[in-house]
Chains A and B, each alone.
Chain A
Amino acid sequence: MSDAKEVTDSSFEADVLNASKPVMVDFWAEWCGPCRKLSPILDDIALEHADKIDVVKLNVDDNPATAAKYGITSIPAVYVFRDGEVAATSIGAKPKQVLEQEFAQFL
């Protein structure tokens, strides 16, 4: 379904908050239809911008603490973290061109 690395409640700090590069987190779940449409697009973005940004995904079913901490109430939700802070967010499945525009400063 997607090539992105899975992060969890317990690995979130190391993989995302303490990362040296900006990290794009895809909050998703198995039962979320639009998430399935979005993940290949994020895979593309990951591939094309690998030098600038890492793309990972977090399953909200399995990792409720992180989802709750960032107040996720709608998925798919894409959050970009830089230096441990939320630097940008985008909610809903959107076309690649739109995401690239929204996250232009990180790509």
Chain B
Amino acid sequence: MIATGLKVRSLSPIERFIKPVSTETDNGSNSPSDIRDVIIVGSGPAGYTAAVYTARANLSPLLIASSVTAGGELMNTTDVENYPGFPEGVMGPDLMENFEKQAARFGTEILFEDVTSVDLSGDVKAVTVGTGETFRARAVIISTGSAYRELGLEDEKRLSGHGVSWCATCDGFFFKDQDIAVIGGGDSAMEEALFLTKFARSVTVVHRRDSLRASRIMQDRALAHEKIRFEWNAEVAAIHGTDKVTGLTLASTVDDSSRELAVTGVFVAIGNDPRIDLVKDQLKLTGEGTIAVLGRTSKTSLPGVFAAGDVIDPTYRQAITASGSGCVAAIDVEHYLADLGDTVQTAAEVPTPVAEQVSETASV
């Protein structure tokens, strides 16, 4: 290949270290050499996809994966049947292991720690993890996903791990030949209910409305299953049990009636809320509580801060949309860094194309 006229794509670690940088704007005491191009927070489909793309663009991403929930939501499920490219389906944990391997293959540095605080305001962003260590970068991608919603009942926490669960694949085993309840009417609730039929004697789905939100195929499977019963227009008013769950009180959502349901397990699948604790005081949010981004881009209210996956998405929230969104964030980061031009040291080379305006203002 002829090198003349080509921009050097990346510097070796030593070159990075010795190259004098004249126009640093950071206010920290560390040397500029420890300022990375990009840090990715979160290790679901969004974070790992962003890692694959930024790593292949030579941006040497640092991905902070979390210490115990690395891999994200799909770690808690079994078959994923709608991620394209796997005609026979794929196990969630296997898929995420592959995501991790692919990110690592191109040089992503993966750290199994939890981010405890971020400072996103300046040109150089600071990301601090549970050990107290702080990392700095010019760009940050927030892809922290969403956290399961709780019922908000007094006894829910107390009995959590003693019959109240949020993970059928983790805990279903302990309910062999027992009667259990699944709360919720969406796809994940149906998935949990169907999975639990492998162990339970009966599964009662408790749903606030008289029809399901779940996709047609999941509804059909659940409605046809002989072990699954439905309690329509009902919500959980109380969970009973001293050491272990013994039953629920269900309140009607249409009249004043209530009734008891004897179950030894309750699996809560009533939806998720975006995980925004780290950033909620620094970034603009939407009315749905997700991180606000510009049009079809991943640009948040702060320059250099990008967000991807379920944390920006109140609607679609699938592995494939999270992946797509991680890809968008990676490309936005490359453009942002390249736009900073010669004032900073970055491996990014592709500046923002003119066409991006269309993405920023996407509308019909």
CB atoms of B68 and A41 under 8 A apart: yes
In the assembled complex, A73 has its CB within 8 A of some CB on chain B: yes
Give chain B interface residues in 37-70, CB to chain A under 8 Å: 66-70
Nearest B residue (CB) for A93: B68
In the assembled complex, B134 has its CB within 8 A of some CB on chain A: no
Known A73-B171, A75-B171, A91-B160: A37·B69 in contact at CB below 8 Å: yes
CB atoms of A73 and B163 under 8 A apart: yes
Question: In whole angstroms, what is the CA distance A72 to B174 when docked?
Answer: 8
Known A73-B162, A74-B171: A93·B69 in contact at CB below 8 Å: yes
Give, as a whole number of angstroms, the nearest-CB distance from A68 to chain B: 9
CB atoms of A96 and B67 under 8 A apart: yes
Would you give the 0/1 interface string for B94-113, flagging 1 where the beta carbon is closer than 8 Å to chain A? 00000000000000000001
The residue that B165 contacts in the complex, of A41, A71, A73, with Cβ under 8 A, is: A73
Question: In whole angstroms, what is the CA distance A34 to B169 when docked?
Answer: 10
Across chains A and B, the number of contacting residue pairs, with CB separation under 8 Å, is 68
CB atoms of B67 and A95 under 8 A apart: yes
Nearest A residue (CB) for B96: A33
Q: Which residues of A contact B175 (CB under 8 A)?
A: 73
Instruction: Indicate the size class of the contact surface on chain A.
Output: 20 to 34
Would you give the 0/1 interface string for B291-303, flagging 1 where the beta carbon is closer than 8 Å to chain A? 0000000000000
Q: Which residues of B contact A95 (CB under 8 A)?
A: 66-68, 113-114, 130
CB atoms of A29 and B130 under 8 A apart: no
Question: In whole angstroms, what is the CA distance A92 to B76 when docked?
Answer: 12
Give, as a whole number of angstroms, the nearest-CB distance from A32 to chain B: 5
Q: Which residues of A contact B174 (CB under 8 A)?
A: 60, 67, 72-74
Q: Which residues of A contact B279 (CB under 8 A)?
A: none
CB atoms of A91 and B161 under 8 A apart: yes
Nearest A residue (CB) for B66: A95
Interface size, chain B (Cβ < 8 Å): 28
Q: Which residues of B contact A67 (CB under 8 A)?
A: 174
Give chain B interface residues in 208-246, CB to chain A under 8 Å: 243-244
Give, as a whole number of angstroms, the nearest-CB distance from B61 to chain A: 21
Q: Which residues of B contact A60 (CB under 8 A)?
A: 173-174
CB atoms of A38 and B170 under 8 A apart: no
Question: In whole angstroms, what is the CA distance A38 to B70 when docked?
Answer: 11
In the assembled complex, B75 has its CB within 8 A of some CB on chain A: yes
Would you give the 0/1 interface string for A57-79, flagging 1 where the beta carbon is closer than 8 Å to chain B? 00011000001000111110100
In the assembled complex, A10 has its CB within 8 A of some CB on chain B: no
Give, as a whole number of angstroms, the nearest-CB distance from A26 to chain B: 13
Question: In whole angstroms, what is the CA distance A67 to B174 when docked?
Answer: 9
Question: In whole angstroms, what is the CA distance A34 to B171 when docked?
Answer: 11
CB atoms of A31 and B169 under 8 A apart: yes
> Max chain A CB contacts within 10 Å: which of B114, B131, B167, B170?
B170
In the assembled complex, B304 has its CB within 8 A of some CB on chain A: no
In the assembled complex, A97 has its CB within 8 A of some CB on chain B: yes
Nearest B residue (CB) for A94: B68
Known A91-B160, A92-B161: A74·B130 in contact at CB below 8 Å: no
CB atoms of B68 and A71 under 8 A apart: no
Known A73-B165, A74-B170, A77-B161: A33·B67 in contact at CB below 8 Å: no
Beyond the given A34-B76, A60-B174, A93-B68, please list 17 additional residue pairs across the A-B interface where CB-CB is below 8 A. Answer: A29-B173, A33-B76, A33-B93, A34-B68, A34-B69, A34-B167, A37-B70, A38-B68, A61-B173, A67-B174, A73-B161, A74-B161, A74-B165, A94-B68, A96-B67, A96-B130, A97-B131
A-B contact pairs, 13 of them (CB 8 A): A32-B170, A33-B76, A34-B68, A34-B69, A34-B76, A41-B67, A73-B265, A74-B165, A74-B174, A93-B68, A95-B66, A95-B67, A95-B130
Task: Report, nearest first, the 4 A-B pairs whose CB atoms are least far apart.
Answer: A91-B161, A93-B68, A74-B161, A95-B67
